A and B are shown apart, each in its own frame.
Chain A
Amino acid sequence: MELAVIWFAAIAVLWTGFFLLEGFDFGVGILMPFMGRRHSVDRRVAINAIGPVWDANEVWMITAVGAMFAAFPAWYASVFSGFYVPVFLVLIALIVRGVAFEYRHKRDSDRWRDWWDRAIFFGSAVPAFLWGLIFANIVRGVAMDADHIVTASPLDLLNPHALLGGVSTLALFTLHGAVFLTLKTDGPVRVRARRAALGAACVAVPAVTAFLLWTQSAHGGPWTLPLALTAVATLVGGVAAARFRREGWSFLATAATIVLTFATLLGSLFPNVLPSTTDPAFSLTVANASSADYTLTLMTWVAVVFLPLVLGYQGWSYWVFRQRVTGEQITRSTVTTGGKEQGRAA
């Protein structure tokens, strides 16, 4: 197989890994307002469920972007200059969210925590929506000239298909995060998360189903159809599992839905990487956007050696923190650390 095709698949895997792992981080952030009263131990429980891992989850995005730069420079250049405004908003959101996780508990003041809770909510909801919007637009294609310079205005990105894509990822990640919390916490947070999961499902099931069918009928091929249909099936199965308190199965199912959804999207895109709606001849493809063979071979070796290592130690870190997080642990650790505030932790 051609190296450029392998690298398209590798970048698809990196982005999917990002959405799979960061999906529940976004979901937990979006659910902050529903996880307990402001300043309560419950909110701290929700944050601590992702506390040790969110940073490494986000590195999947950095690596995906770096891999695009190395393997498909023209794709990297056109996508990020062409989607300037949404990408910029994602960056601002990720900046305030990252700081919020680390700074929220560093001052014992309700106003202080209020501000950072807002930052966590918006910092999670904005990228959860915008990444769906961006990827839907990548699959649809944008106005692009012969030099691969995107000529579409930011408003062109707000078409119905892409907006539906944004709503789908927003709802799907919220559901994924809620299910993750039912699996990872105990006590009142677990109860509320189950309720939140069923609420998010009311949006996620119709939105993701409609978005996948639309994408499949407009851009899909014969082999993406089973992917799209399985995605819908696992989504429904996941909601049913959540309803009957099979938390592990439910999480596996929402994880599978995310993987299959992005497999459908990127599968529909291939062999293009960014289609041009101005003229199909101006489209960026796996063939005309890729680096030369030397770089691709080098990057293949680097990935083959180091990606298993990364998976190994990241998996180990999940294993170390496998216990459910509860409110008692947080109040106890607060007592032993001598802090006054509720749930000062992380």
Chain B
Amino acid sequence: MEALDLARWQFGVTTIYHFLFVPLTIGLSFIVAVLQTFWYRTGRHEYLQATQFFGKLFLINFAMGVVTGIVQEFQFGMNWSEYSRFVGDVFGAPLAMEALLAFFLESTFIGLWIFGWHRLPRGVHLACIWVVAVGTNLSAYFILAANAWMRRPVGYDVNPETGRAELNDIWAVLSNDQAWSTYLHTVSAAFVTAGLFVVAVSAYKLWRNAGHDDTGEAGVTPPGRDFALFRSTLRTGLVITLAAGALTVFSGDHQAKLAAEYEPMKLAAAEALWDTEEGAAFSAFAVGDTEARHNPIDVTVPNVLSFLATGTFDGEVHGMNNLQEAYEEYYGPGDYMPNVFVVYWSFRLMMGLGMFGIAVAAAGLWFTRGRGRMPGSRWFYYAAIAALPAALAANIFGWVLTEMGRQPWTVHGELLTAASVSPGVSLGTVAMSLGLFTAVYGLLFVVEVGLLWKYIKKGPAHVVPDLENDEDESQIPHFSY
């Protein structure tokens, strides 16, 4: 065991934890803004209730996203100082821009939104949540551009005197096709996740409020408490999930083509393709032998991989063995293959779980078509609730695929992970921080889920202040949360 291994585990654990909350923040800020806009435009009480109910859940999640993000800003320097020295000139710029352009925006306007319900004119207050939604999306762009640069470095030169990468074209970094494509994929997946969050919560409330226990059969659902409110949020969530789902599939396809071009080893590992083929088949289920470098069991769909990677059914897709040879010739001896098992199964789990969520959304829209109609089967409610953890897991597997698929590189073709770690930081130090981060994060996770559960069970009535009957609202700073 080396400090390198633990530093990798620590980055993985803290980033995965961060990214459990981030997609919900990105999508929910937007959904809450939409709900509040509905209220602003129509004045209907149920939209105010929905805004405040989901706003509360959004804030519980937002806090966790913020605090886990702080760690990331420092971790590059703490555990990956050699990496930071090498790329700081290029990588630091989008990070600093993210803080200056996006973090300030989010953090200032979320404070105004939380505390400003009775302080600000309604239009200005509505604008605050929209600024938060824009800020979260902006910050996602900058950080994904920084990440995409590691997978496809552009707009830089390595200075031979200092041995460091030096930025020479920021537009190349910000308009990197890996950057905008990854952004599209990540943010649409975040909207799927947040959409499914709203769907799962609404489905649970509709099921419970209609008087069903967990085993009961549903007939035509009678209008229970908050029926109109949750039917309308259910529909909103379903529409957002399906629209974002379509975008996720489209951008995912584009991601595969970019991988074929810039990171062929990742694509080959994701498909467990050992040898270069023309008209390569898509592997549906494989059991591989990484020692002998072949797959004893491989269930495939002919020519589909070539189509996904190149757009033609007989295009050439590189295999891992051939790439390994080529890389050794170019970069010198070494092992240039990622962990095939992890990459192969992350890819399948990401797609499978993601598709499940999108299918639930499509089914839900069909079941709720027409006025007041509701799904009759309890299986729909189970599936709608299960789709939320599925979407969260799909996000994680997608990032595991992206990040572990580019191993052994931190900067593709330029810097190996093994050469990126902090030389001065001992194994014991990293073990201590890894252990404590994991423990604190684990504890906070339990606390957050407990709080979300508590407020979902309580329902919207509890969180709505009496906005209309407040006699002198200009005098009282009204704290709604």
Which residues of chain A have a CB within 8 Å of any CB of chain B? 48, 51-56, 58-59, 62-63, 65-74, 76-82, 84-85, 87-88, 91-92, 94-96, 98-99, 101-103, 106-107, 147-151, 291-292, 294-295, 298-299, 302-303, 306-307, 310, 313-314, 317, 320-321, 323, 325, 329-330, 332-333, 336-338, 345-346
Judge whether A62 and B70 touch: CB under 8 Å.
Answer: yes
B378 within 8 A of A: no
- A141 to B303: give the CA distance in the assembly, Å: 62
Q: Which residues of A are found within 8 Å of B167, using beta-carbon distances?
A: 291-292, 294-295, 298
Which residues of chain B have a CB within 8 Å of any CB of chain A? 59-60, 62-64, 66-68, 70-71, 73-74, 76-79, 81-82, 84-85, 87-93, 95-101, 103-105, 107-112, 114-116, 119-120, 159, 164, 166-168, 170, 422-425, 429, 432-433, 436-437, 440, 444, 447, 451, 454-455, 462-463, 465-466, 469-470, 476-481
- A96 to B436: give the CA distance in the assembly, Å: 12
- A336 to B464: give the CA distance in the assembly, Å: 9
Given A52-B111, A63-B104, also A87-B74 (CB < 8 A): yes
Judge whether B99 and A294 touch: CB under 8 Å.
Answer: no
Q: Which residues of B are found within 8 Å of A54, using beta-carbon distances?
A: 111
Q: In terms of DSSP, what is the predominant structure of the interface of chain A? A: helix
Determine how close the nearest CB of chain B comes to the CB of A120; give it in whole angstroms: 13
Determine how close the nearest CB of chain B comes to the CB of A12; give it in whole angstroms: 15
Q: Which residue of A lies closest to B104 (CB)?
A: A310
Task: Give me the 7 closest cross-chain CB pairs, A-B, nearest first.
Answer: A73-B88, A80-B77, A70-B92, A69-B92, A345-B479, A102-B63, A52-B111
Judge whether B96 and A63 touch: CB under 8 Å.
Answer: yes
Q: Which residues of B are found within 8 Å of A62, using beta-carbon distances?
A: 70, 73, 99, 103
Contact of B71 among A95, A148, A292 (CB under 8 A): A95
Q: Which residues of B are found within 8 Å of A106, using beta-carbon distances?
A: 60, 451, 454-455
Judge whether A333 and B476 touch: CB under 8 Å.
Answer: yes
Contact of A337 among B97, B465, B477 (CB under 8 A): B465
Q: Which residue of A lies closest to B157 (CB)?
A: A292
Determine how close the nearest CB of chain A comes to the CB of B10; give it in whole angstroms: 10
Given A69-B96, A298-B93, A303-B100, also A103-B63 (CB < 8 A): yes
Q: Which residues of A are found within 8 Å of B168, using beta-carbon distances?
A: 294
Q: Which residues of A are found within 8 Å of B481, using beta-carbon distances?
A: 346
Q: Which residue of A lies closest to B479 (CB)?
A: A345
Judge whether A317 and B64 touch: CB under 8 Å.
Answer: no
Judge whether B101 and A69 touch: CB under 8 Å.
Answer: no
- A63 to B100: give the CA distance in the assembly, Å: 6
Given A56-B104, A59-B107, A71-B92, also A81-B79 (CB < 8 A): yes
Q: Which residues of B are found within 8 Å of A66, using beta-carbon distances?
A: 73, 92, 95-96, 98-100
Given A59-B107, A67-B96, A73-B84, also A52-B115 (CB < 8 A): yes
- A52 to B120: give the CA distance in the assembly, Å: 13
Judge whether B424 and A317 touch: CB under 8 Å.
Answer: no
Judge whether A96 and B88 touch: CB under 8 Å.
Answer: no
- Some 20 contacts from A to B, beta carbons below 8 A apart, are A59-B107, A62-B73, A65-B73, A69-B92, A70-B95, A80-B74, A95-B444, A98-B67, A99-B67, A102-B62, A106-B60, A291-B88, A291-B166, A294-B166, A299-B93, A299-B96, A306-B100, A321-B115, A330-B479, A337-B480
Given A66-B96, A298-B170, A302-B97, also A323-B477 (CB < 8 A): yes
- A138 to B466: give the CA distance in the assembly, Å: 53
Q: Which residues of B are found within 8 Å of A299, using beta-carbon distances?
A: 93, 96
Given A80-B77, A323-B477, also A317-B103 (CB < 8 A): no
Q: Which residue of B lies closest to A97 (CB)?
A: B67
Most buried by B among A58, A62, A92, A302: A62
Determine how close the nearest CB of chain B comes to the CB of A268; give it in whole angstroms: 23
Judge whether A81 and B424 touch: CB under 8 Å.
Answer: yes
- A262 to B49: give the CA distance in the assembly, Å: 47
- A129 to B146: give the CA distance in the assembly, Å: 33
- A68 to B76: give the CA distance in the assembly, Å: 12
